[in-house]
Chains A and B, each alone.
Chain A
Amino acid sequence: MLALKELLNSRLKFGLIALAIGLVVSLTMLMAAMSEGLISGMTGAKESLQADLLVFQGDTQLSLERSLLSAADLDQIRNTSGVDDVYPVGHAMASVETGSGNFDARVLGLGGHLEQLPIVEGAGGPLGRGDAIVDVTAKAEGVSIGDTVRLSPIDRELTIVGFTEGRRYVMSPTFYVDMGTWEDLYLASALAPVDTAAGGGSGAVRGPFSGSASIAAVTIAGPHDAASVEALAARLGDRFEVTTPEKAAMAGNGMSVMVLAVDGIQVVSLIIGALVIGVFFYVTTLHKTGQIAAIKALGASNGYVGRQLMLQVTILVAVAAAIGIVLALGLGSAMPPAMAFEPQLQSWLTSLVAVFLMAHLGSLFSLRAILAVDPASALNRTEP
């Protein structure tokens, strides 16, 4: 009764504080969505590789850019006990020419399991030589189904046959091609200095390179527990680095530092929110100690006055959450596509639960002050 009546009576005061908390809520939600967008944009193509384990060349710190496995390596992995299935994954960097300019892209060659790519437009696998399925973010660069784009400076062309989604890498759209196409692009890029040198020729290198890949995507046989993964890694030996796609996604490119920074902003926002709500209720409580004392003197228990405070905090946070969601969605939709913004229900729910808990934590000082109010002070006890 009292909590709600006071809120309704002081709509402006509580409305303004709800707006302030709502801004904090929207900030934490935007940060959560940007964190998701950052992770997805930086690692989507790597993280969503369909495999139990990814095998990298040894001493490359799980770097997709630096790892290179020979055909013999791939055979060794394929023949290791406990391995059920292996397909090669090749990686190359490229600059894509369009009518309006160039944009950076990543090329991933998949030696199988093309069905893992969710097709949002056009065709899926199998892919012919020179065909590519591209992450849908490339549309923003002017790429369409049926287009033939030119890769520079290696003078190769790819024809877009389909669009997939959630498959960016280092914030660039990924072009999925077959392993033959990848090999050609990779060598063209890597051996360009040899080919262009006077009297040069890379023919002698190309033969032994055939059948190589950047990494191997492995499905293991039997149980998928941590012990089985460790055992397989031990069997593969020190020449390889083995990890899960999820762990591989967070390795390299400063990912852990970036995610830590964004998560840090979220935590700071939550602390600010808790402080704002804590200070607001504390000051409000100090202003009405006489009123609280009178209510206690009339027979209200500490439990009753405490519940009124917590009810007010809960209502305020609920209103603030609604404001925050609207603001976050509004600001999110106004963001340019280049901004990494991918709201996820789970991370937003986590943000809301965190705001709810922090707000109640912040109000504990007020609760303590309320419980400490002496009902006798309601009577005019100026005398000793």
Chain B
Amino acid sequence: MSLLEVRRLSHRYGDGEAAVTALDEVSFSLDQGLLLAILGPSGSGKTTLLSIIAGLLTPTSGEVVLDGQAVHLHSAREAARFRRRNVGIVFQEYHLIPYLTARENLLLVPHLRGRITEEDRARADSLLGEFGLGARARHKPAQLSGGERQRVAIARAFMNQPAVMLVDEPTSHLDTERGRQVLQLLRDHIHGRAMTCVMVTHDQRMTDQADQTVRLVDGVVQS
């Protein structure tokens, strides 16, 4: 059985004649342990799709089922709880908290869940080590390079051991080589943990790192 199923998902912004269709009957499924790349140009609807999978946006129609749970049926409060437990998000702009150190940015995830345990601290240290950030744990985002910030953002997404990781344009701020390195690192960790990942990108060169690819053009899946 697939871990993630997207069934006939449609989404429109606005009403009446001003309505814009961002997604139109999008369907696909993804098995556990795989990395899916959603590829498409700017305006193709890929970020809208990612937002719906994350429970941040309610679709106009269709459904998203993650690990047997219908994501789109959650209230805002339930959706927040769902994300805390099941979803790891890597933002395009990283969105690291500027006044927290790299380690504290990782520990923010268990903090939002309730309280930080010793196990959480050990996991944060372990992830920072695995992502080559052990020596930068006490540095704040402003003291880190772009690549380091990206790695902190990815490590943070691993903190709650999510069922699915959602990654938004992971290489947009990196040159090709660094982008490839970061994606390789992400892929290794996902496969190493048998995790599932949905990544949206406009960069076709990065799709060779993915196990599966969905191409979106004007909100429609291209075969």
Q: What is the minimal beta-carbon distance from B205 to any residue of chain A, in angstroms? A: 19
Contact flags (1/0) for B100-126 with A, using CB distance below 8 Å? 100010001101110000000000000
The segment from A3-11, A56-64, A112-120, A218-226 that touches chain B is A3-11
Residue in B13, B56, B81, B113 whose CB lies within 8 Å of A297: B56
Given A291-B95, A298-B112, A300-B80: A383 in contact with B56 (beta carbons within 8 A): no
Interface residues on A, range: 20 to 34
Contact present for A297 and B57 (CB under 8 Å): no
Contact flags (1/0) for B11-32 with A, using CB distance below 8 Å? 0010000001010000000000
Residues in B with CB closer than 8 Å to A297 are 54, 56, 83, 89, 91, 95
> Cα distance A383–B92 when bound, in Å?
14
Q: What is the minimal beta-carbon distance from B81 to any residue of chain A, in angstroms? A: 7
> Cα distance A376–B97 when bound, in Å?
17
> Cα distance A297–B76 when bound, in Å?
11
CB-nearest residue of chain B to A10? B99
Residues in B with CB closer than 8 Å to A203 are none
CB-nearest residue of chain A to B92? A380
Residues in A with CB closer than 8 Å to B140 are 9
The reply on B50 being an interface residue by CB < 8 A is: yes
The reply on A324 being an interface residue by CB < 8 A is: no
The reply on A378 being an interface residue by CB < 8 A is: yes
The reply on A361 being an interface residue by CB < 8 A is: no
Contact present for B91 and A378 (CB under 8 Å): yes
Residue in B22, B84, B93, B100 whose CB lies within 8 Å of A298: B84
Q: What is the minimal beta-carbon distance from A5 to any residue of chain B, in angstroms? A: 5
The segment from B37-45, B61-69, B128-136, B181-189 that touches chain A is B37-45
Contact present for A379 and B50 (CB under 8 Å): yes
Contact flags (1/0) for A292-308 with B, using CB distance below 8 Å? 01111111111010000
Q: What is the minimal beta-carbon distance from A299 to any residue of chain B, in angstroms? A: 3
CB-nearest residue of chain B to A377? B56
> How many contacts A-B (CB < 8 Å)?
100
Q: Which of A91-149 contact B (CB under 8 A)?
A: none
> Cα distance A353–B159 when bound, in Å?
42
Given A2-B97, A298-B89, A298-B108: A376 in contact with B51 (beta carbons within 8 A): yes
Residue in A5, A290, A293, A296 whose CB lies within 8 Å of B100: A5
Contact present for B111 and A1 (CB under 8 Å): yes
> Cα distance A374–B51 when bound, in Å?
11
The reply on B47 being an interface residue by CB < 8 A is: yes
Contact present for A296 and B80 (CB under 8 Å): yes
> Cα distance A302–B81 when bound, in Å?
12
Given A5-B104, A295-B97, A297-B54: A380 in contact with B43 (beta carbons within 8 A): no
Among A295, A296, A299, A302, the one with the most B-chain Cβ atoms within 10 Å of its Cβ is A299
The reply on B48 being an interface residue by CB < 8 A is: yes
The reply on A381 being an interface residue by CB < 8 A is: yes
Contact flags (1/0) for A367-382 with B, using CB distance below 8 Å? 0000000111011111
Residue in B54, B77, B99, B109 whose CB lies within 8 Å of A9: B99
Contact present for B81 and A299 (CB under 8 Å): yes
A contact set with B: CB distance below 8 Å: 1-2, 5-6, 8-10, 290-291, 293-302, 304, 374-376, 378-384
6 sample A-B contacts, Cβ–Cβ < 8 Å, listed by A number = A290-B95, A294-B95, A295-B97, A297-B91, A298-B89, A299-B84
Starting from the known contacts A298-B83, A299-B87, 8 additional A-B residue pairs (CB-CB under 8 Å) come to: A6-B99, A9-B99, A291-B98, A301-B80, A378-B89, A379-B54, A381-B48, A384-B48
